[in-house]
Chains A and B, each alone.
Chain A
Amino acid sequence: MRSAVSLRGVSFGYQPGRYVLRDVDFEVETGGYTAVIGPNGGGKSTLLKIMLGLLEPWTGTVEVLGLPPARARHRIGYVPQASGAVLDFPVSALDVVMMGLPGGRSTKRARSAALSTMERLGIAGLSGMHAGSLSGGQRQRAFIARALVGSPEILLLDEPAASVDPEGQESFYELMAELNRTVTIVMVTHDVGAVSNHVKTIACLSTVMVSHGESLETEAVARAYGCSVDLVSHGTPHRVLGKHEGRGGND
């Protein structure tokens, strides 16, 4: 199958000589659902920005949907780390979703496209609300709607579960699984416990790609995290592996 995302030998840093990514190979096939975990500062957000063409790698090649990333941009939906938005800005949830469409005018077509995406995510009722007064989970859905409204083929999410309560996370992962029927998903998180059972592959990034496959190499990951308490106490990789293997029969 053709790759949706393909990175080969990618190295990058913000300052000369200080690698944030080192010789990273990363492949996500069309229809894939990959979780990228790794410690804070491991380069996960940087990896997404390289896939978006916002950063140019020092060395290596990047292809998204068979194109240089900057040219595939309009076919990618991006949910940035939540902290970027100015929350007291006077916009409604509908305004936020419309930001994901090309063009500048607030046309009827743009509004109805945004509304139908919001309906799909179950937040149409919030369309008139001030974006800053949405709850964490509602805001996250609005940001996902903003990423989806342009009908992307790939969805890139940066720490999407960070501001959502545990209950919300459950339904969030169900939503992701449903979206994955039509969209390739790459999701980044530093919280190993947050990785859902639905993911098809899981990668661990800590400057170098520690592992990437259908399951995690527990020891390699533990080393990457520097013996993370999280990982050991939840025993998460085993859970991911177990449920994942049983999944084929249910679908």
Chain B
Amino acid sequence: MIDALTRYEFLQNAVAAVLLGAAACGIVGSLLFVNRLSSLAGGISHTVFGGLGFSLLARVHPLIGAASASLIASLALGWMSARKRERADAAVAAVWSVGMSLGLVFVSLAPGYKGDLMGYLFGSVLAITREDLALTALVSLASAVFLAFQYRRILAVSFDPEFSRARGISSGLLFGAFLCLTGLTVVVLMRSVGLVMVIALLSIPPATARMLTHRLPGMVVLSSVISALSGLAGIAVSWWLDLPAGASIVLCAGALFALVTASVRLLRSTAPVG
């Protein structure tokens, strides 16, 4: 594979996409996970399908359709759950199904060739372009800047909303910015693992990392590493066994999760009590 890697640009791009996207994946995924909002990524990704359908119909670049749909979904979700964060659950369910249905309607209305859609639904990491890579790097950078500069505020509003209200921290702005980042991360990950499996890559690595650390920074770093490892392993597996890359990546993440769960259980049960 190393040999192939030096020879084929598409393989290099695939590896670069996985590595560049790891930070966004780890940061956004961890923040979703600790706020019990992982399903939000699913809601956004299915709305992105609606945006893709629209771009087919209106004949604009699919990335533009995807990115605008993800931002609209993020802001709609933010608006619907602004009064009560606990309401996010119901808002997600609504946005999820409406977005998906819109996509199906647009696609059926659009004339001509629609074969490309499969790539967006199930991923096409081997068809990643330079544009995709640039967008991926940008989203990762934005996520890192957001976390570094808002770290304590993010912790405060997530850990104890009541207290942070009393401190005058504007959680609405923070939540809105985070939702937009989530939307863009979904678009970026759509290229590698596909819309259907985005939610897996945003929830499995943080869930794995959470078993290994009890602090958010550690969790972010670990889940970024885990998503990079799963990405690389998945690409290798799909290359050798000629399997779909997106599914292979998600299955590798799942395997890592199972491995860590089993090891942690084993260690706990053999550790001396007390």
The chain A residues found within 8 Å of chain B, CB to CB, are: 49, 52, 54, 70, 73-74, 76, 78, 80, 84-86, 89-92, 95-96, 98-106, 110, 130-133, 146
Contact = CB atoms under 8 A, between A and B. Distances in A.
A96 B167 CA distance: 14
B150 interface: yes
A99 B149 contact: no
Nearest to B163: A80
A49 B34 CA distance: 27
B164 A99 contact: yes
Contacts of B154: 104
Interface string B199-236: 00000000000100111101100000000000000000
A90 B166 contact: no
Nearest to A52: B166
Interface in B162-203: 162-168
Nearest to A89: B159
B151 interface: yes
* Listed residue (B149, B154, B215) with the most chain A CB atoms within 10 angstroms of its CB: B215
Interface of B: 34, 148-156, 158-168, 210, 213-216, 218-219
A67 B19 CA distance: 52
A133 B215 CA distance: 12
Contacts of B162: 80, 84
A73 to B, nearest CB: 5
A144 to B, nearest CB: 12
A99 B148 contact: no
Contacts of A103: 152
Given A99-B155, A103-B152, A105-B149, A91 B163 contact: no
A84 B163 contact: yes
Contacts of B160: 80, 84-86, 99
Given A54-B166, A80-B166, A90 B152 contact: no
A52 B163 CA distance: 10
Contacts of B163: 78, 80, 84-85, 99, 146
Contacts of A131: 159
A225 B162 CA distance: 28
Contact of B34 (A80, A84, A89, A146): A89
